[in-house]
Amino acid sequence: METYNLTNVSEFQLMDFSEDPDLKPILFGLFLTMYLVTVLGNLLIILAVIYDSHLHTPMYFFLSNLSLADICFISTTVPKMIVDIQTHSRVISYVGCLMQMNFFIIFMCMDDMVLTVMAYDRFAAICHPLHYAVVMSPRLCLLLILMSVFFSLFASQVHNFLALQLTCFKDVKIANFFCHPSQLLTLSCSDSLIKNMVTYFAGVILGFFPMAGIIFSYSKIVSSVLRIPSSGGRYKAFSTCSSHLSVVCLFYGTGLAVYLSSAVSYSPSKGMVASLMYTVVTPMLNPFIYSLRNKDFSSFLKRLHCGTV
């Protein structure tokens, strides 16, 4: 197999979903629709939180930031994919690949951090209801979001620094529809120490720390809820966490599947489907999951329909 030095690499080739030209218009329409639904759905949540005073609570403040992160997250991959389908091109420049990877890590990490903060918010609401308004003050909520943004930028810059140490590649064909960090690492023929540093860094920052925070919060929540004497009280407490848990499981389940499959035996088709799930499907489903059976959002939509917002 030919080895490509960094000085010889000016572009990479992304993987196509299908070589069948008859499927191109269908895929174009499908992904364009999914992208528009995601953007409009998450924008609706952001507008609802801004304009409805009933939604001026920490939970909805964090939800609006999650929606903003989801819009940015899906925008790092899908527009490029839609253009590639339309132009029948799968080429991305080396600089464009690094930029896409950079924004991908920023907004993926932002999703991780906001989901973790939302778990802490539910922990404070259920385990310390009498002190909730004091604990989750507007100042603390803003500080948590700013810390999430700072942490995401820091993680992306460290990852970029490590990625720039990759000086040669075994191939220029990336087995995914975007410049996935793990795929770029797989193509690298650099020293195994650098590969391990990137892998462990991504695993700790994007996986271990957020998941540890979420698991800790929910272990305390479950312990507290089980002490509630009435079944109705337990159901009400758990129902406030069901939407968040659904998104966490969908996001982390598919994300971890990609990284674990890359480490063991990567299947391009399965990897692309798993990547599609957490980069496209999850951001699209978030507005539906959080607004489903939510009386506050239903009330806002009714007022919006009647023109009384």
What does the alpha-carbon distance between residue 118 and residue 59 come to, in Å, rounded to a whole number? 7
Confidence check: pLDDT of 223 > 80: yes
> pLDDT at position 148, please?
92
Cβ atoms of 259 and 161 closer than 8 Å: no
Higher pLDDT, 277 or 147: 147
Q: What is the pLDDT of residue 114?
A: 93
Domains and CATH numbers, the chain: 8-306 (1.20.1070.10)
Q: Among 183, 182, 188, which Cα is nearest to 200's? A: 182
* Long-range contacts of the stretch 289-296 (C-beta < 8 A, 24+): 289/243, 289/246, 289/247, 290/45, 290/63, 290/243, 290/247, 291/45, 292/243, 294/243, 296/52, 296/54, 296/55, 296/60
Q: What percent of the chain has pLDDT over 70?
A: 79
Summarize the confidence of residues 279-291 as an average pLDDT.
Answer: 84
Do residues 205 and 109 make contact, with C-beta atoms less than 8 angstroms apart? yes
pLDDT at 308 over 80: no
CA neighbor of 282 nearest in space, from 91, 100, 114: 114
The conformational region for residue 188 under phi > 0 = left, psi -120 to 50 = alpha, else beta, is beta
pLDDT at 159 over 90: no
66-83 residue pLDDT tens? 999 999 999 999 999 999
Residue 110 has pLDDT above 60, yes or no: yes
Across residues 44-57, what is the average pLDDT? 86
Nearest to 217 by CA among 123, 96, 101: 123
Q: Does the pLDDT at position 7 exceed 60? A: no
| pLDDT number for residue 87 | 86
Position 104 pLDDT exceeds 80? yes
Taking the CB of residue 30, how many other CB atoms lie within 10 A of it?
Answer: 14
Task: Provide the 3-class DSSP secondary structure of residue 102.
Answer: helix
Which of 27, 28, 66 has its CA nearest to residue 46? Answer: 66
> Tell me, what's the pLDDT at 190?
65
Q: pLDDT confidence of 260, banded at 50, 70, 90?
A: low
Q: Who has greater pLDDT, 275 or 196?
A: 275
Confidence of residue 3 (pLDDT cuts 50, 70, 90): low
51: pLDDT confidence band, cut at 50, 70 and 90? confident
Question: Does 179 score more than 70 pLDDT?
Answer: yes
Instruction: State the pLDDT confidence band at 4, using cuts at 50, 70 and 90.
Output: low
- Tokens linked to 307: 């023109």
Q: Considering only 15-24, 128-137, 235-244, 291-300, which range has the smallest mean pLDDT?
A: 291-300
Q: How far apart are CA 174 and CA 294, in angstroms?
A: 41
Greater pLDDT, 254 or 43: 43
pLDDT at 256: 67
Average pLDDT over residues 30-35: 94
Average pLDDT taken over every residue of the chain: 81
Compare 195 and 174 and report the one with higher pLDDT.
174
Answer with the residue of higher pLDDT: 183 or 191: 183
- CA neighbor of 286 nearest in space, from 250, 258, 257: 250
Reply yes or no on whether the pLDDT at 27 is more than 80. Answer: yes
pLDDT of residue 167 exceeding 60, the answer is: yes
Q: CA–CA distance from 69 to each of 98, 106, 222, 254 (Å)?
A: 19, 9, 28, 18
For position 279, what pLDDT does the model report?
86
**The predicted structure's pLDDT at residue 226:** 80
Give me the amino acid identity at 169.
F
Q: How far apart are CA 46 and CA 68, in angstroms?
A: 7
State the number of CA atoms in the 13 A half-sphere of 114 facing the CB: 27
pLDDT of the residue at 218: 85
